[in-house]
């Protein structure tokens, strides 16, 4: 009986200089994907992935297509090595939701690449025209953090794991939230090294432009369930996929509920595809009863293949 697994894809922040280099050297199919990405985008994405510098790779317009391409390259090799592995659902954190849709067949590689390149560019433009920041709240109660967000007029950007919630808003309001965090029983308030206020109302300009791009893109119902961040549920119809991918730009990433939804559906094995093991770490805080295999490079790929074939 073939093994069944849910695919999880990394979000922005997981990028690392050198990502994909060993895969491209080992697998012609990965080299071909990277060459296709370079040609489609019109700049040497693969060179930035392999050599950096990190400041360039971290740019939203570079980072998003890099993570998208890397995740799908890992999947391509995994499928070739474990052909009877059955993918029963997909999900991705923020940007990773686009990779999840490509993996599920909602759109092809080229269409998704164009969408994430535009998404990253639109968000980069929004960062340049607003003074935004993000703040990770560690160890606080969700109710208290939501109260703080309302008092300081900032948005809840990410609900990543129990005790790990991220706020997003203007620099001044985020600083005010940090100053008041102890009063709300929050253990630590950590400013994040990001260019702007992602998943907040300050991304409205990017959201409006992405909506137009999504409307023009060819989108079909996925072959397997895809769980969306914005509503933490499975989306099937093309119109609801467009709507939730658009809403996600300014809306909260409800990662905890998304994973709980999948676990409630009976999924017990998850495979994370991305440059680090962030999603496995989050799952350890959400539900320790399920298993997550993280695949980042050729070494972890070989180990995962051995485990899946055992």
**Can you name the residues that pair with 155 across neighbouring β-strands?**
168
Rounded CA-CA distance 293/272 in Å is 6
CB atoms within 10 A of CB 251: 21
Active site residue 94: yes
User: Both tokens of residue 148?
Assistant: 């703080």
**Can you name the residues that pair with 191 across neighbouring β-strands?**
135
Q: What are phi and psi of 261, to 5 degrees?
A: -60, -45
Active site residue 267: no
Vertex 69: Cα angle to 63 and 73 (nearest 5): 140
Taking a C-beta distance cutoff of 8 angstroms, is the pair 183, 137 a contact?
A: no
Taking a C-beta distance cutoff of 8 angstroms, is the pair 71, 8 a contact?
A: no
Rounded CA-CA distance 91/290 in Å is 15
Rounded CA-CA distance 271/269 in Å is 7
Rounded CA-CA distance 30/24 in Å is 5
- What is the widest separation between alpha-carbon atoms in the chain? 56
Decide: helix, strand or coil at residue 193: coil
CB atoms within 10 A of CB 264: 8
Taking a C-beta distance cutoff of 8 angstroms, is the pair 240, 253 a contact?
A: no
Catalytic residue among 46, 61, 70, 94: 94
Residue position matching structure tokens 């009986």? 1
Catalytic residue among 199, 258, 261, 294: 199
CB atoms within 10 A of CB 68: 28
Residues designated catalytic: 94, 199
């Amino acid at each position: 009986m073939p093994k069944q697994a849910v695919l999880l894809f990394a979000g922005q922040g997981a990028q690392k200089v050198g990502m994909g280099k060993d895969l491209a050297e080992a697998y012609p199919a990965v080299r071909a994907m990277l060459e296709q990405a370079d040609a489609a985008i019109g700049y040497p994405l693969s060179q930035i992935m392999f050599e950096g510098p990190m400041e360039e790779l971290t740019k939203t317009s570079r980072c998003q297509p890099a993570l998208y391409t890397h995740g799908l390259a890992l999947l391509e090799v995994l499928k070739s090595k474990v052909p009877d592995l059955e993918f029963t659902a997909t999900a991705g954190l923020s940007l990773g939701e686009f990779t999840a849709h490509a993996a599920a067949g909602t759109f092809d590689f080229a269409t998704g690449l164009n969408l994430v390149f535009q998404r990253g560019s639109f968000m980069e433009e929004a960062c340049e025209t607003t003074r935004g920041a993000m703040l990770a709240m560690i160890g606080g109660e969700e109710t208290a953090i939501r109260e703080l967000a309302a008092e300081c007029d900032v948005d809840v950007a990410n609900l990543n794991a129990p005790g790990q919630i991220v706020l997003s808003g203007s620099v001044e309001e985020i600083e005010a939230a940090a100053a008041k965090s102890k009063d709300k029983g929050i253990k630590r308030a950590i400013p994040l090294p990001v260019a702007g206020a992602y998943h907040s109302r300050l991304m409205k300009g990017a959201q409006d432009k992405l909506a137009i791009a999504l409307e023009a893109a060819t989108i079909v119902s996925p072959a397997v369930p895809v769980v969306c961040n914005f509503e933490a549920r499975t989306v099937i119809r093309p119109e609801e996929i467009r709507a939730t991918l658009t809403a996600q730009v300014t809306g909260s990433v409800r990662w905890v509920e998304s994973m709980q939804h999948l676990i409630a559906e009976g999924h017990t094995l998850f495979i994370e595809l991305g440059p680090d093991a962030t999603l496995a770490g989050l799952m350890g805080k959400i539900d320790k009863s399920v298993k997550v295999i993280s695949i980042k490079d050729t070494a972890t790929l070989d180990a995962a293949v051995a485990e899946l074939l055992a």
